[in-house]
């Protein structure tokens, strides 16, 4: 049994709110934090607890929310047709919870929540045998959160929502995270008794606290050891704030794994990115999506690398953009290079400035060093492609392939009109327009325009 295993635990994730304060056509919980939706962050951490089930309560944009997560997370969908409050939302999940002993309730808009923090709540809940346990935190800026109201003895009496709080209550700095663990039978018993007698006319989940106490139930506020875990996102400024905190965590973790990061405040590294030891990431880099970087690479400054795979000791020079590319060991890319999807570069390949490569395979040690476009191309090993070479792959309707063998030398400013093949060992003279197969080894060049000399010609002068 792993330490995060709790028998008969059902999780309910609340994600039905419209998220009005985001001012967005995208449901709030689908907004991304470092390449992953807030909801997916929350679900990923819950899954580490191995609960018996996860119910996702949706309302606004419910289908969109469910389709966004169903492929990567196993959740059962619960609908809340009208958003009548967090208590009402939990009530909709009663049927799915029926075999559980405890129900863990988490909001879909708290992406910083870590599994250790949930572990802290569950452990204390089991240990104290409370009917209701919830995570609270003492924070400097409690505005917007429900305040934890304690009596003179320090015992929790109730949670007061910001909009219902008196001026005195607003001074309280201990806030509720909105994350509860409640005995299943008690939970639905209390929920049947809550009302919407408050400023928002909503059925508040936190109102189960005074109801439990009135019936002699036991309520525990578990003060979080890491307060930032509970930060909720209601608007875009909070979204940015939690992204910054999570970015800090990600960068700290990579530094501990042997990665050097210059000016970390300018760098973005998505949560799903993997980086090898002794890699250096310079200012302004963005490592996005499912990118994997090998050992001893040098990236940037200002490189954008999305969904790409880099082997060891790759150099990506300044201002290069990689998307869906695979790059072999010791390759050097840029500055100012662009690698587009389905580009596969073997070991030691060199791609220089202002070169674009798309859907092409380049063999070991081949070089395309300046101002070229290589698309839909299969290229062998040790080729040297001169400046300004273009594979003309598109006839306006269809894409065509260029095949280049090993040890080929293409002179500068050559146009390879696809479909076309250049056999191994061939040399193509500069400025050629190649429309037919280039045979192996010899020199091929297209007829060049005549060159004239006009001795007495005068440059025009400005009038």
Q: Which is nearer to Ca ion, 234 or 427 (CB)?
A: 234
**CB-nearest residue to ligand UD1:** 146
From edge to edge, which strands make up the β-sheet containing 390-392?
Answer: 268-269, 286-288, 304-306, 321-323, 338-339, 356-358, 373-375, 390-392, 415-417, 433-434
Minimum Å distance from CB 3 to ligand UD1? Answer: 27
Q: Is 370 a catalytic residue?
A: yes
Taking residues 123 to 162 in sequence order and writing x for each that binds ligand UD1 by CB under 6 A, - otherwise, the string is ----------------------xx------------x-x-
Tokens coding 25: 């056509």
Q: Considering all CA atoms of the chain, what is the largest pairwise distance in Å, rounded to the nearest integer?
A: 110
Give dist(CA 207, CA 195) in Å, integer. Answer: 8
Minimum Å distance from CB 14 to ligand UD1? Answer: 3
Identified binder of ligand UD1 from the candidate list 10, 40, 45, 86, rule CB under 6 A: 86
- Under the binding rule (CB under 6 A), the answer on residue 108 touching ligand UD1 is yes
Contact (Cβ atoms closer than 8 angstroms) between residue 122 and residue 181: yes
Minimum Å distance from CB 131 to ligand UD1? Answer: 18
- Under the binding rule (CB under 6 A), the answer on residue 107 touching ligand UD1 is yes
Binding site partner of 175, from ligand UD1, Ca ion, none, Cβ cut-off 5-8 A by kind:
ligand UD1
Give dist(CA 351, CA 335) in Å, integer. Answer: 9
Taking residues 38 to 57 in sequence order and writing x for each that binds ligand UD1 by CB under 6 A, - otherwise, the string is -------------------x
Burial of 280 from C-beta contacts in 10 A (0-12 / 13-18 / 19+):
middle
Binding site partner of 300, from Ca ion, ligand UD1, none, Cβ cut-off 5-8 A by kind:
none
Q: Residue 327 half-sphere exposure, CB side, CA atoms within 13 Å? A: 37
- Under the binding rule (CB under 6 A), the answer on residue 411 touching ligand UD1 is no
- Under the binding rule (CB under 6 A), the answer on residue 178 touching ligand UD1 is yes
E strands present in 95-154 = 102-107, 132-138, 147-150
- Under the binding rule (CB under 5 A), the answer on residue 232 touching Ca ion is yes
| Phi-psi group of 205: left, alpha or beta (phi > 0 → left; psi -120 to 50 → alpha; rest → beta) | alpha
Which of these ranges, 80-88, 319-327, 385-393, 453-461, lies near ligand UD1 under the rule CB under 6 A?
A: 80-88
| Nearest alpha carbon to residue 313 among 267, 349, 352, 366 | 349
Give dist(CA 35, CA 447) in Å, integer. Answer: 53
- Under the binding rule (CB under 6 A), the answer on residue 105 touching ligand UD1 is no
Identified binder of ligand UD1 from the candidate list 9, 15, 104, 305, rule CB under 6 A: 15
Long-range CB contacts for residues 262-270, cutoff 8 Å, separation at least 24:
262/301, 268/34, 269/34, 270/34, 270/35, 270/36
Give dist(CA 298, CA 341) in Å, integer. Answer: 21
Residue identified by tokens 């869906």 is 324
Q: Which is nearer to Ca ion, 35 or 232 (CB)?
A: 232
Give dist(CA 119, CA 300) in Å, integer. Answer: 39
Binding site partner of 83, from Ca ion, ligand UD1, none, Cβ cut-off 5-8 A by kind:
ligand UD1
Question: According to CB under 6 A, which residues from 158 to 177 bind ligand UD1?
Answer: 159, 161, 175-177
Question: According to CB under 6 A, which residues from 418 to 457 bind ligand UD1?
Answer: none
Which of these ranges, 105-113, 290-298, 334-342, 371-379, lies near Ca ion under the rule CB under 5 A?
A: 105-113
Determine which one of 73, 241, 370, 407 is catalytic: 370
Which residues of the chain form contacts with ligand UD1 (CB under 6 A)? 14-17, 57, 80, 83-86, 88-89, 107-109, 145-146, 159, 161, 175-178, 204-206, 232, 234
Catalytic residues: 370
């Amino acid at each position: 049994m792993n330490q995060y295993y709790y028998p008969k635990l059902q999780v309910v994730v609340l994600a039905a709110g419209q998220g009005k304060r985001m001012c967005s056509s995208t449901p709030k919980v689908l907004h991304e934090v470092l390449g992953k939706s807030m909801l997916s962050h929350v679900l990923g951490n819950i899954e580490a607890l191995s609960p018996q089930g996860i119910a996702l309560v949706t309302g606004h944009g419910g289908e969109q929310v469910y389709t966004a997560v169903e492929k990567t997370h196993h959740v059962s969908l619960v609908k809340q047709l009208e958003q009548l409050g967090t208590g009402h939302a939990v009530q909709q999940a009663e049927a799915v919870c029926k075999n559980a002993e405890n129900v863990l309730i988490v909001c879909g808009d708290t992406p910083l929540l870590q599994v250790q923090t949930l572990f802290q709540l569950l452990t204390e809940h089991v240990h104290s045998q409370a009917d209701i346990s919830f995570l609270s935190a003492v924070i400097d800026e409690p505005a917007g959160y429900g305040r934890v109201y304690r009596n003179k003895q320090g015992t929790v009496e109730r949670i007061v929502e910001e909009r219902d709080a008196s001026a005195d209550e607003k001074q309280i700095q201990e806030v509720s995270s909105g994350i509860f663990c409640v005995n299943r039978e008690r939970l639905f018993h209390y929920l049947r008794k809550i009302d919407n007698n408050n400023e928002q006319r909503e059925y508040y989940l936190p109102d189960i606290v005074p109801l439990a106490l009135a019936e002699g139930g036991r309520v525990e506020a578990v003060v979080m050891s890491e307060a930032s875990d509970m930060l909720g996102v209601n608007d875009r400024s909070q979204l940015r704030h939690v992204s910054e905190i999570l970015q800090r965590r990600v960068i700290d973790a990579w530094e501990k794994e042997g990665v050097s990061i210059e000016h970390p405040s300018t760098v973005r590294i998505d949560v799903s990115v993997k980086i090898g030891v002794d890699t250096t990431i310079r200012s302004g880099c963005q490592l996005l999506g499912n990118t994997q970087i090998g050992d001893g690479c040098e990236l940037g400054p200002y490189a954008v690398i999305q969904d790409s795979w880099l082997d060891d000791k790759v150099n990506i020079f300044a201002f290069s953009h990689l998307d869906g590319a695979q790059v072999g060991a010791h390759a050097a890319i840029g500055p100012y290079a662009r690698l587009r999807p389905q580009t596969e570069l073997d070991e030691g390949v060199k791609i220089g400035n202002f070169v674009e490569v798309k859907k092409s395979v380049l063999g070991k040690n081949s070089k395309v060093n300046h101002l070229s476009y290589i698309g839909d191309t299969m290229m062998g090993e040790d080729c040297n492609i001169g400046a300004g070479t273009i594979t003309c792959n598109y006839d306006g309707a269809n894409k065509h392939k260029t095949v280049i063998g090993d040890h080929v030398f293409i002179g500068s400013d050559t146009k390879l009109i696809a479909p076309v093949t250049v056999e191994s060992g061939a040399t193509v003279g500069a400025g050629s327009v190649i429309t037919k197969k280039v045979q192996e080894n010899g020199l091929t060049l297209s007829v060049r325009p005549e060159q004239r000399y006009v001795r007495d010609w005068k440059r025009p002068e400005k009038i």
